[in-house]
Structures are given as structure tokens and as C-alpha cells.
């Protein structure tokens, strides 16, 4: 596998292979099974796979964890190669934002809720860096995890609105044995917090069962059901619990019509955790610009 830091060098490297189907897996590194499942999926479907590792300062707010975000490029290179990546693209901040970020991409509406409300500017940072990566790599397909369901919705919207010729593939959340969604940020959890963290998916699963049994028919009831259980967990602070239409992220009344998302964000000590389930459950989605 080739490790490339410069945009010009990456373009030169990819130019002779443009007829090959190219997959991109954008990451911020410190790869875990969730990332590796995206890389494996990309390797199955594409002839060449680029994995980008870039901790994007633009998507971190003041006081967030930019400085302590875990990094281990050597390990990432080994894991990405074993999972089927051909190129690891590892630009520095100066390479990606040589003039700062004077031009940014903003998606309205979809970014007003959930993490967009709790982390102002976060999705502008995500959309900006992903659109830069799309321009630099020019992938046929780009792979994202459904754990960041709002991110997937935002990127799908951006791809449609800006006519990026790329298919966005969202892949199922990969979980630890106790259900905790894999995340690079899980390393921040103390052993006690790590045990507590399993409550997130356990509660979402209970709500899913209640919904499937026809005992949760309205979004407000589902929110209350999830909230009540999370509020009982010691040391856990709720940021949000919302049940919305998906991928539109609009308020909902009844749960028996449109596809919906039950999404939660909590704080356990200094760690912010998010998780979600899509109702009805699905295997992942695809979307291309019109």
C-alpha cells in the first residue's frame, strides 16, 4: 500500500488509473473495526481504494477534543492495508487548508438538529472537508458509517445539491460485544464509563422491540421511553434524545409511516457518545446525485 501526503502526488498517482472504479473511505484515523468494515466493503466493490486519514480542525468547536483526538498513523497504515486499501492519503493541515478555510460548504435545515444543534459549525467543517476530498480523489463511491447517520444525510444532501458524481454508500454500525457502537473516542472512557456506555444501545434496542410490538406508536412516546431509561443511568448526562424522519430529519408524529431515526447523544465523564437506530431497520443505503 502506498502512503501519500501531498494532493498533487495523489492526483498524479491516480491519473493513469481513472478507468478503474475508485472507492474513497474518509476517516480521521485511529482506525477501528467500524472503519475496517467500510474499507473491506469498498475493496469488494471497487478496483482501487483510497483511505484518507485527516483530523479535520474545521469540524471541531472551541473546547472540543481536537488536541487529544487519538492518532496512530503507523497502526492505521497496517490495518488499512490489511483491510484492502491501496492508498493511505494523509495530508497535513497546511496541505488541506494552505490559506485557512475562506471557502466553506454549508447545508441548511438538516444541520439545525441533533449534533448540528449541539455542535454549531460542525457539519460545515465536515461538508467542507468531504467536498475537498471528493474533488481531490474524484471517487466513484464514498463509504460512511451509519453510526454518524446525520453526517450521512448531510453528505447525501450535499452530493445531490452540488451534483458530485459520486455514490454515497452508508454501511451498518459496527458494535462491540455489549452493543456499544465502535468509535475512536471510546478510548477516552474509563473502565467504569465503558461499562455504563452499553446502556445506549441497550435502550435503543428495547425501544425498537417496543415499537415492533406496536407499543410505541408516536415519536413523543419513543423519546420519553428512551429518556426515562437513560436518565436512570448514573453519571450519564443527556445531550439529546430525538425521534425524527430519516433522512429528512423533520419532526414526526406517528411512527408507522415514514422511515425514522431514534438518535441519542450523551456525555459520560468527558466523553461525548452518539448512537442511533433507523426504523424500520435496514442494511445501509445508497444515494447518487441526480
Residue closer to ligand PAF, measured from CB, 224 or 287:
287
The response to whether 32 counts as a known ligand-binding position is yes
CB of 148: closest distance to ligand PAF in angstroms?
5
Whole-angstrom CA distances from 229 to 210, 245, 252 are: 13, 22, 21
Do the annotations mark residue 174 as ligand-binding? yes
Q: Tell the smallest beta-carbon distance from residue 8 to ligand PAF (Å).
A: 21
Choice among 17, 35, 122, 135 that is catalytic: 35
Task: Please tell me whether residue 7 binds ligand PAF under the rule CB under 6 A.
Answer: no
What the block records as the C-alpha cell of 90 is: 494523509
130 binds ligand PAF (CB under 6 A): yes
Decide if 171 contacts 37 (C-beta within 8 A).
Answer: yes
Number of residues in contact with ligand PAF, rule: CB under 6 A? 10
Choices 124-132, 134-142, 230-238, 249-257 (CB under 6 A): range interacting with ligand PAF: 124-132
Sign of the C-alpha dihedral computed for residues 127, 128, 131 and 133 taken in this order: negative
CB closer to ligand PAF out of 25 and 244: 25
Catalytic residue status for 17: no
The piece of 7-15, 20-28, 83-91, 281-289 that touches ligand PAF (CB under 6 A) is 20-28
Distance CA 12, CA 5 (A): 12
| DSSP letter string, 122-159 | HHHHHHHHHHHHHHHH--SEEEEEGGGHHHHHHHHHHH
Q: Reduce the DSSP state of residue 13 to 3 states and report it.
A: helix
Q: Among all residues, which ones are annotated catalytic?
A: 35
Amino acid at each position: 500500500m502506498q502512503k501519500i501526503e501531498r494532493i498533487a502526488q495523489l492526483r498524479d498517482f491516480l491519473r493513469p488509473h481513472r478507468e478503474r472504479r475508485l472507492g474513497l473511505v474518509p476517516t480521521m484515523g485511529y482506525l477501528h473495526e467500524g472503519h475496517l468494515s467500510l474499507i473491506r466493503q469498498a475493496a469488494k466493490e471497487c478496483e482501487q481504494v483510497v483511505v484518507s486519514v485527516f483530523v479535520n480542525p474545521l469540524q471541531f468547536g472551541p473546547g472540543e477534543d481536537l488536541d487529544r483526538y487519538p492518532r496512530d498513523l503507523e497502526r492505521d497504515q497496517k490495518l488499512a492495508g490489511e483491510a484492502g486499501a491501496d492508498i493511505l492519503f494523509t495530508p497535513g493541515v497546511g496541505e488541506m487548508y494552505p490559506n485557512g478555510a475562506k471557502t466553506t460548504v454549508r447545508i441548511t435545515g438538516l444541520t439545525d438538529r441533533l449534533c448540528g444543534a449541539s455542535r454549531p459549525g460542525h457539519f460545515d467543517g465536515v461538508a467542507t472537508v468531504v467536498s475537498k476530498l471528493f474533488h481531490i480523489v474524484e471517487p466513484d463511491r464514498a463509504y460512511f458509517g451509519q453510526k454518524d447517520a446525520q453526517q450521512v444525510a448531510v453528505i447525501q444532501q450535499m452530493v445531490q445539491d452540488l451534483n458530485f458524481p459520486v455514490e454515497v454508500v452508508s454501511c451498518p454500525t459496527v458494535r462491540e460485544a455489549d452493543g456499544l457502537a465502535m468509535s475512536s473516542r471510546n478510548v477516552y472512557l474509563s473502565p467504569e464509563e465503558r461499562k455504563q456506555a452499553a446502556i445506549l444501545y441497550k435502550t435503543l434496542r428495547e425501544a425498537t422491540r417496543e415499537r415492533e410490538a406496536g407499543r410505541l406508536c408516536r415519536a413523543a412516546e419513543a423519546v420519553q421511553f428512551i429518556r426515562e431509561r437513560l436518565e436512570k443511568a448514573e453519571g450519564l448526562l443527556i445531550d439529546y434524545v430525538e425521534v425524527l424522519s430519516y433522512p429528512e430529519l423533520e419532526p414526526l408524529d406517528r411512527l408507522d409511516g415514514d422511515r425514522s431515526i431514534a438518535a441519542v447523544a450523551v456525555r459520560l465523564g468527558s466523553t461525548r457518545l452518539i448512537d442511533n437506530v433507523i426504523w424500520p431497520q435496514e442494511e445501509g443505503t445508497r444515494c447518487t446525485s441526480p
